[in-house]
Structure 1
Amino acid sequence: MDTKKVWFVTGASKGLGLTLVKRLMAEGHFVTATSRNIAELQEEVSEENETFLPLEVDLVNENSVEAAVTKTVEKFGKLDVVVNNAGYGQLGTLEEITDLESRQNFDINVFGSLNIIRKTMPYLRRQKSGFIINIASIGGLTGEFAGWGIYCATKFAVVGFTEALAAEVNELGVNATVVYPGYFRTDFLTGGSLRTPKTEIEEYTTARKLQTAHEKDINGNQPGDPEKAAFALIELVSMKNPPIHLVLGSDAFSIAGDKLNALQNEISEFKKLSTSTDY
């Protein structure tokens, strides 16, 4: 138990979460994997055994989350790494998406992760060790994607609370990192991982074109290898001084650089107006 870590991974029945769990199992780590459907976990990975604990968890239900964390510690004796990976994409312009659609996206992508943090931190705090990885998106650094506003807003929120979390838990010996993946060749752009608006407004042609591009052109042609992403996350946890921000993928790295340069240029251009408000 001392040579391998205990990982707690949400959204583990598909996509990057599933790839990470399989890699962790192959390397001999102890893994709790959560999903809305335990049968998918058992089919894709394994039934429960000495090193693997599959759990059906409702992330927006605090009692469900607390029970999962308790079972993990009871089974493995500790908790080392928490990966908030569960989430889904919500397409639609801000006018199109209903209040319910918006809140449901925030429930999973934001409040679900906060529930996990709230229920795992007592163990990490007592241990004075541990690592929390929050999976955002490059859409958490730039929201300049027409029709992705709510999804990007959820990921911006993940970035914000991870920065605060890192500041809060540093003195406790716990690390926190927010990860910004680019496009990885998973099933994120298919099935239940990507939802379209119930009502579409035809005037939003730019958003529709981008929606079609993601569903038909980008899907299956993503440049990122999820296996390599899993290796990167495992390497991240092994670092003595891990970053608070980690961009994953050459596409994400390029987008991040362009965004930061554009932001710096815009801020500098209006420096006179920005600084004109002091006494």
Structure 2
Amino acid sequence: MTTSKTWFITGASQGLGLILANQLLAAGHRVAATSRHLTGLTQAIPADAATFLPLQVDLTDEASVAQAVQATISTFGRIDVVVNNAGYGQFGSIEELSDQETRQNFDINVFGLLNVLRHVSPHLRAQQSGQVFNISSIGGFFGNFPGWGIYCATKFAVEGLTEAYAAEMAGFGVKVTAVMPGYFRTNFLSAGSLATPHTSIAAYQDVRDSLTTHQEQINGQQPGDPAKAVALLIAMSEAPQPPLYLFLGADAYQLAAQKITAVQRDMQQWQSQATATDFAAEAI
């Protein structure tokens, strides 16, 4: 038997967040769920008010995030599990994307997540327990995707801050996991979740081809089952020692292994020269 917990989930009106919220409520957990639009959230999750708290939140507004966290504490008394799920894909080559487009992606995917961590951490520290899942992407570990550089950069940032956050919170009994899914069959590649560049450059044919492949071939045919993914997260929330790194999907494992092999190959090729760069030891 699992103990009923209070979950705080961002981006819960669609995709993994929505499926997770519904599975949790069906299992008897309490869920505080955020979305930019309250109506869409309440329509997507018509749950009992005793266990479900829908919250309209602008993740880029720190005051809005703080109010949502406080409302959750006031309603349910505590937060046991935090799932930073909100985010969107920004497609386009590095040269094509404007400063504004780039910053907007970081504002949601990175700084919005940081706003949540900043305001849940005092509560998790005080109760000396908790689990945080930061939903990243295999694109936060393997960035060799033409046209996905900015999105991957946001997810690489999530990976790095998650590692540091895990180290900072370990002494308070708080467990932290970076979740790196591969291709799962959600609406991530649809127009509402994937932004394309305002200005495109014809010279980047590989970028145009990548967008066509993702929208016309991969979208709707992703191998990952999101219901199985969130079921694993729920099970993992009960694990005594959840992993810091969770690659989700066979494709994520394959790409991670490919990256690790490439890094090891480059390290070995240049090891003798690269490790001979310290100051020379003084003769005694």
Q: For the superposition of Structure 1 and Structure 2, which TM-score range results when normalised by the shorter chain?
A: over 0.9
* 1:253 Cα deviation after fit: 0.8
Deviation of 1:37 (Å): 0.6
Q: What's the CA shift for 1:48?
A: 5.9
Q: Quick one: distance in 2 between partners of 1:236 and 1:160?
A: 21
Percent identity of equivalent pairs: 54
**Alignment: residue pair count:** 278
Query: Where do residues 220-259 of structure 1 align in structure 2 (5 Å cutoff)?
Result: 220-259=220-259
The structural deviation recorded for 1:213 is 0.6
1:187-221 CA-to-partner distances (Å, cap 9, x unmatched) read 01002210000000000011110111111100000
Q: Offset of 1:276 from its aligned partner?
A: 2.2
- What's the offset of the Cα at 1:267? 1.1
Write the distance in 2 (CA, Å) between the matches of 1:17 and 1:54: 13
1:121-160 per-residue CA deviation (whole Å, 9 max, x = no partner) reads 0000000000111000000001100110000000000000
Helix, strand or coil at the partner of 1:253? helix
Show structure 1 runs of 5+ residues with no match.
none
1:169 maps to amino acid = M
Q: Does 1:211 align with 2:211?
A: yes
**Matching residue's letter, 1:13:** S
Structure 2 residue ranges without an equivalent (≥5): 280-284
- Cα offset for 1:235? 1.3
2:202 matched to which residue of 1? Answer: 202
Amino acid across the alignment from 1:113: L
Amino acid in structure 1 at the alignment position of 2:194? L
Contact 1:47 1:54 (8 Å CA) reproduced: no
Counterpart in 1 of 2:282? none
What do residues 238-260 of structure 1 show as CA deviations (whole Å, max 9, x unaligned)? 11011100000011011111111
Matched AA of 1:224:
G
1:30-179 matched pairs, under 5 angstroms: 30-46=30-46, 49-179=49-179
Question: For residue 62 of structure 1, what is the amino acid of its counterpart?
Answer: E
Tell me the SS of whatever aligns to 2:206. helix
Distance in 1 of aligned mates of 2:155 and 2:24: 25
What's the secondary structure of 1:124's corresponding residue? helix
Amino acid at match of 1:244: L
Contact kept, 8 Å, 1:72 with 1:79, in 2: the verdict is yes
- Cα distance between partner residues in 2 of 1:100 and 1:125: 35
1:13-32 matched pairs, under 5 angstroms:
13-32=13-32
- Structure 1 residue 112: Cα displacement: 0.2
- Distance in 2 (CA, whole Å) between partners of 1:191 and 1:4 is 36
CA contact (8 A) 1:134 1:179 kept: yes
2:263 and 2:88 map into 1 onto residues whose CA distance is 27
Letter in 1 for 2:10: T
Q: Distance in 1 between matches of 2:154 and 2:124?
A: 25
**Which amino acid in structure 2 is aligned with residue 154 of structure 1?**
T
> What's the C-alpha RMSD, in Å, of the aligned pairs?
1.0
Q: What is aligned with 1:9?
A: 9
- Distance in structure 2 (CA, Å) of the matches to 1:167 and 1:80: 18
CA deviation string 1:86-139 (max 9, x = no partner): 000000000000000000000000000000000000000000000111000000
Shift of 1:262: 1.1
* SS of corresponding position for 2:175: strand
Distance 1:194 1:3 in 2: 37
Q: Give, as a single letter, the amino acid of the residue that structure 2 aligns with 1:138.
A: I
What secondary structure does 1:50 align onto?
A: coil
- Structure 2 distance, partners of 1:4, 1:92, is 43
* 1:13/1:40 contact within 8 Å kept: yes
Find runs of 4+ consecutive structure 1 residues off by over 3 angstroms: none
- Distance in structure 1 (CA, Å) of the matches to 2:214 and 2:191: 13
In structure 2, distance between residues paired with 1:28 and 1:209? 45
1:70 alignment partner, SS class:
helix
Task: Read off the aligned partner of 1:191 and give its amino acid letter.
Answer: A
